[in-house]
Structure formats: C-alpha cells, structure tokens
Structure 1
Amino acid sequence: MEEEFLVVDLESRRLTPLAQAMLDRLPGEGFAAELQRSVVETNSTPLEDLGDVRAELVRLRGALVSAGEPLGVGVIASGTTPLTGVDGYTISPGERYRYLSDEYRFLAQEQLICGAQVHVEIDDRDVAVLAAQRAEAWLPPLLALSASSPYWENDDTGYASSRTLAWQRWPTAGSLGPFADAAQYDRTAEDLVASGVIEDQGMVYFDIRLSAHVPTVEMRICDSCPLVDDVVLLAGLFRALFTRESEAVERGEPPRGEQRPALLRAANWRAARSGLEGDLLSPLTSRPSSAPQLITWLLDDLRPTLEELGDWELVSELADEALRRGSSASRQRGARAVNGRPEDAVDLLLAETRKP
C-alpha cells in the first residue's frame, strides 16, 4: 500500500512545505518525499491479511502525526485540500523533481493531489497484463468509494474527485491497453521513454500498471482516503478483483467487463463527478445505476473470490459502512456548509486521518 498525505499548518489549516522537516524526524524506511514539499508518502510492507494491512497503515499514519505535532503541522489523507495557501506550491529539491518542474511546468506546479495505490503480487507478467486490462472496467466503483477531492484552489469544483481530472492531464495517465502480452506492454513503456515524453518507466502512469521492478500490479486510480477503513476496503476489493480476473485468464475465459476505451473513460469521469452520491456506469452494460446499488452488486459478484481469500466478512462490513456514511467529498461539503468555513472541512480531514 502507498498513501500520499497533504501537510497542513495546524493553526491556519493551509498547506505548508514542511514535509521534509517531518521526514527528518522519521525512520527512512516506509516514508518518502514527493514532488511538492507539502506532500509526504508512506509505503507499507507486503502483507497478506487485511487486518495486518490495517494495523500497518494505522502505524504509519500514527508516526506521521507524531512527527508533525512538534512542528505545528498535521497530515490529511485526501485527493486535494479544501484550503490551499501559496506556501503549498513549493517543489521538493532533487534532480528528478527539477526535471519534472522544468519539463511539465504547470502540471508539476499544480501537482497538489494525493492518491492511494494498491499493489498485488503476481509472478506471471503475461497473465498480469491480460488480467489488468480485464480489471479496468471494474475500477470506477473503487474510484467512487475513494472520492475525497471536491475542492480545487479553495473552490468547490462540482466533482467528487477533482484529483482525477487533474491527474488525467499527464501524458501517460489513463487506460493501459490494449496489449496482447507483457512483451508488448514492455515495448510500449520503452518506446514512451525513447520518445522523450517521459524520463523513465516510473512515469508510466496508467490507472493500473505492471511494476517495472517488483512482481506486482498496481492500482492507481483512487484518491487518498481520510478513513483508514476505506483504504483497507479498496485493498480487499482490488485483490479480489485481480485474483478473479487472473484466474479467468488462466482458464481461458473471455472478458466480462467493458473494454472499449471511450466507455472506460466515460465510466471514470462519471465516478469522479458523482462519487457515492450519484449514478455510476455498470462495468457490464455501461448503463447508469445508483452508486449504492452498483457497489452492492459488485460485492455480490466478487463474493466467491472474497470468500476464497477469507475476506468476505470484513470487506462486506466495510463496504456497508462506506455506503452508509457517503463519500469523503460529501462529508467535506457538509462540514464546510455549517458555517461556510473551509477550515472546518480541513479539521474534519485532520480528525478522520488520525482516527485509528
């Protein structure tokens, strides 16, 4: 699991470029800087049990909170922040970050967005690339569950995940296919580097991608989630989804979900627009359905695999809780609406992020 967090001043509630000061107070393993000095990342160790995943995420978040408090800063796990501040726009030092800033200009300068990424181990890269393409149709409901970025530049965007729109501006973001096998995937990644549009294969930003250096497939479509239980939910759902599709590839079964790029893009847009408070598109028919109805159906569809993995009871409970409370985007808007103060939305995010 990788989680990205925005660093905020606890007095002003605005972004502050003190991520490195926090990192100086933390062990090197499990924590890293990001492009912007107001963003920090955590990386968990590989784990099999979702309960252990949860405990690890709580531990990493707790370490961030403890490192930040003496500096007067806190962290929020959300796709964007309700309250920006000019100090948030500060590029981190280092040759790679200078390259990103010089080459991509306002894309890098506005990269004040945070995601939650899930890695699932798989040894067979040919199976991995085929299963990844089959899984793409099922990712928009996971994006909707994570939607936590209604604000951009202090204004309500009208979207539940404005991070998704900002992220799609990068030249390699979006759908990964079509690829016949891992060799074709690898050649495309190499050609992207050779084109000069990206510097290395770490900049292949597909919504779901094969790692260039470890035997995993990585889901990259989701916003950061303030509540740790929602991150555990995403991990459980994606592992079950990818396990099911990998097994279907090995059995030679045809794909069940939508694979046309235009409709995949439409489904992602719909999830970013609506979150859990509107319609989503069915991965089978591309027709609209209410988010709670579609996610409940998705759970039932994945139930045999979730039971096989021993995850059904926990994942179904976490999904029910997520649907009852609604998206983070909706909760942030509700907090701000009480007194019209964006600071109240930041306070909600601070509290939820540190909640064990």
Structure 2
Amino acid sequence: MGVEEEFLVVDLESRRLAPLAQAVLNRLPQTGFAAELQRSVVETNSTPVEDLAGVRAELVRLRRALQAAGEPLGVGVMASGTTPLAGVEGHTISPGDRYRYLSDAYRFLAQEQLICGAQVHVEIDDRDVAVLAVQRVESWVPVLLALSASSPYWQDADTGYASSRALAWQRWPTAGAVGPFSSAAEYDRTAKDLVASGVIEDVGMVYFDIRLSAHVPTVELRICDSCPLVDDVVLLAGLFRALVVRESEAVMKGVPSKGEGRLALLRAANWRAARSGLEDDLLSPVTSRPMSAPKLITWVLEDLRPTLEELGDWETVSELADEALRRGSSAARQRGAYARNGCPQDAVDLLLRETRQG
C-alpha cells in the first residue's frame, strides 16, 4: 500500500492560503514531497508499506517534516478538501510546462482546482484481474467518500455539501467511473485513445475514481477528500485494500458481484455521499436504497469482516470506523467550529490543529 496526501499551505497570521508551497518544498528532500497545480498546495508520497501500522508511520513522518519546513516561513499545512478561507493569492498556478498546459487548456477548471485529495494505492500483480476487480469495488467507494468528506466551504462560503471537492473534481473530462472494460488491454487502449483525442495530454490525466497505474502494479483510489486526521486516512487505506483483495479473489473464483453496478445509480450514490458526509443517509452499494450513514458503514464493516480478519486489519479498521462515526465528518466539525463564534478562522485553526495532531 501507499498513500498520497495533498495539503493546503496557510498563512498562520491571516489563516488564508499562501502561495508558498515551493518555498516549503525548498526546505525538504526531493523524495516524498512534490508541488501541485496551485502554488498553495503541496503533496506527500509515502513509501510502499505492507500493513496499516506502516501506513500510519509514513503519514506521521511526512506530515511532521512538512510542518517543520513550513513553520520558519510563517505557514502551516492543513489536510482538507477545500479551505474555509481562500484568499486571492491562493489562486496562483505553479510554474512549469505541465501546469502552464493545464491552465491554458482547461481554463477555469484549472484556475479553480484549489482542492485536495487523499489517494490510496494497493498493489495487484495481474492487470486483467485488477481492471475487473476495480469495477466491482466502485459500488462501495461512495462510503469511502462520505468518510473522508472535508470540504464544505468554497470561496469563503458554505456550499451545503460535505464534499464540494468531489463535485468540482467531476468536471474534468476523464473523471468519474471506470469502464466498463473487459480486460487490461481494453483499458489501456481507451487510455491511449483519450490521449490521441487531444482532450488529455498523457495517460497520467486519466482521472477515473479508481484507476490502474500505467507504471507500477497498483490500483489507485482517487475519489476521497484529504483528511485532517491520520486515523481517517488509515481507515480509508484499510477499507480500500480489503475491497480490492475481496473483489480480486471473487474475480478469480468467478463469484458474481454483489454491488449495484449501474452507472446512473453509482453517480447518484457518489452525489449523495458528497452531499451528506456522515450526517445523513447514504445509498446502499447493493440495493441503492437510502440508509443512515452509521447503519450502512456498520453493515459494510461486517460484510468485509472475513477479508479484514484475513489481512489482520479487523481490530484496527473496526475501531477507527467507530471513532469516525462518533466524532462525525470533518465537514461537520468545521461547520461546528465556524458556528461557535461565527468566525471562519476558527474552522481553519481546527484543521491546522487536527492535521498537526494527526
């Protein structure tokens, strides 16, 4: 497994975004840290690990290094899908040919790409199995989006959504559901055809909610918001790995999928998760009927329990899920902090604190 996290760079005095990601990166080693499209966003990349304890250790290590690099510059970093306080300077495109291309080709999509996600990679050697398995996993990922929801604000206003980032991301031409594909060759051919169409520049811009890596034997979950608490990222990694393992084994055994599978209902489930977070109903991945978030997540855990126990993850994942449900989504916590004094800076301070504490 491996995890990529994106962080917003925030001026510690004004609590608004600061275009100082490169200045922070200049104080860090090249391995594990990278720039992003916007100058107020920085990314971390963990080394591959074999268990959830390793995931946690990597996330903590990288976050501590980021924070130590930013503090002498008067900036902090926060893991959140969006920020309660943007600021004009936050909307500044990073230098470089690729970022210039993105800005010129996609205009306001790139200019408004001030959003952060958490991506989880899981190793799987057989690409034909992988492409079939991820299409089965898709029915379950709206639950993961709901668990990660941390972007209620956009341009200093409450959007009414728990994950406004998820909606903004879906505007990109290759974002959304994967497939249907019958083989890795068909997947790869489609990726190449998208490049040949001129709509994207390379296969790295295939932004499916779950995609196959073009370079290493992994599948990558891309639908989730950045999460201020390390525990929530570890939870996402544990659940996603269990889903990939279970559905890969089912593909090899010829077991039919339990997931809904219809694109229109999958889109509806993702919208519902973005709207609700953990504070309202979600859609069942099997029946597409509404269920309260706590009830559905508890059911999903029990459904995955045999695989989680096989991986040695049951105790950790079930405990982290219980804690996530008790404290509610990051979106709800941000709104609560904001509402206490009517002050958006309080929501930023909460995000900075939770990111630092892990």
TM-score between both structures, scaled by the size of structure 2: 0.99
1:148 CA drift (Å): 0.1
Name the SS of the counterpart of 2:19 in structure 1.
Answer: coil
Q: Which residue of 1 aligns with 2:214?
A: 212
1:32 CA drift (Å): 0.2
1:27 and 2:29 equivalent?
yes
Cα separation, 1, equivalents of 2:255 and 2:242? 17
Q: Which residue of 2 aligns with 1:185?
A: 187
Q: Which residue of 2 aligns with 1:44?
A: 46
Cα separation, 2, equivalents of 1:251 and 1:52? 30
Q: Which residue of 2 aligns with 1:309?
A: 311
Cα separation, 2, equivalents of 1:261 and 1:251? 24
1:254 CA drift (Å): 1.2
Unpaired stretches in structure 2, ≥5 consecutive residues: none
* Letter of the 1:130 counterpart: L
1:193-212 counterparts in 2 under 5 A?
Answer: 193-212=195-214
Runs (4 or more) in structure 1 with deviation over 6 Å come to none
* Letter of the 2:27 counterpart: R
Q: Which residue of 1 aligns with 2:64?
A: 62
Name the SS of the counterpart of 2:44 in structure 1.
Answer: strand
1:19-168 counterparts in 2 under 5 A?
Answer: 19-168=21-170
Unpaired stretches in structure 1, ≥5 consecutive residues: none
Cα separation, 2, equivalents of 1:189 and 1:253? 28
1:255 CA drift (Å): 1.2
* Letter of the 1:61 counterpart: R
Counterpart among 288, 291, 303 of residue 290 in structure 2: 288
TM-score between both structures, scaled by the size of structure 1: 1.00
Q: CA RMSD in A?
A: 0.4
Q: Which residue of 2 aligns with 1:223?
A: 225
Cα separation, 2, equivalents of 1:135 and 1:197? 27
Cα separation, 2, equivalents of 1:312 and 1:150? 31
Q: Which residue of 1 aligns with 2:250?
A: 248
1:282 CA drift (Å): 0.3
* Letter of the 2:46 counterpart: S
1:177 CA drift (Å): 1.2
Deviations 1:41-92 (A, max 9, x none): 0000000110111011001000000000000000010000000000001000
Cα separation, 2, equivalents of 1:309 and 1:270? 30
Name the SS of the counterpart of 2:331 in structure 1.
Answer: helix
Cα separation, 2, equivalents of 1:154 and 1:213? 39
* Letter of the 2:272 counterpart: R
Name the SS of the counterpart of 2:288 in structure 1.
Answer: coil
Q: Which residue of 2 aligns with 1:16?
A: 18
The alignment of Structure 1 onto Structure 2 pairs a total of residues equal to 356
Identity of aligned residues (%): 83
Cα separation, 2, equivalents of 1:135 and 1:235? 14
Cα separation, 2, equivalents of 1:73 and 1:104? 29
Q: Which residue of 2 aligns with 1:323?
A: 325
Q: Which residue of 2 aligns with 1:333?
A: 335
Q: Which residue of 1 aligns with 2:175?
A: 173
* Letter of the 1:328 counterpart: S
Name the SS of the counterpart of 2:89 in structure 1.
Answer: helix
Cα separation, 1, equivalents of 2:304 and 2:232? 17
Cα separation, 2, equivalents of 1:265 and 1:49? 31
Cα separation, 1, equivalents of 2:250 and 2:100? 44
1:230-241 counterparts in 2 under 5 A?
Answer: 230-241=232-243
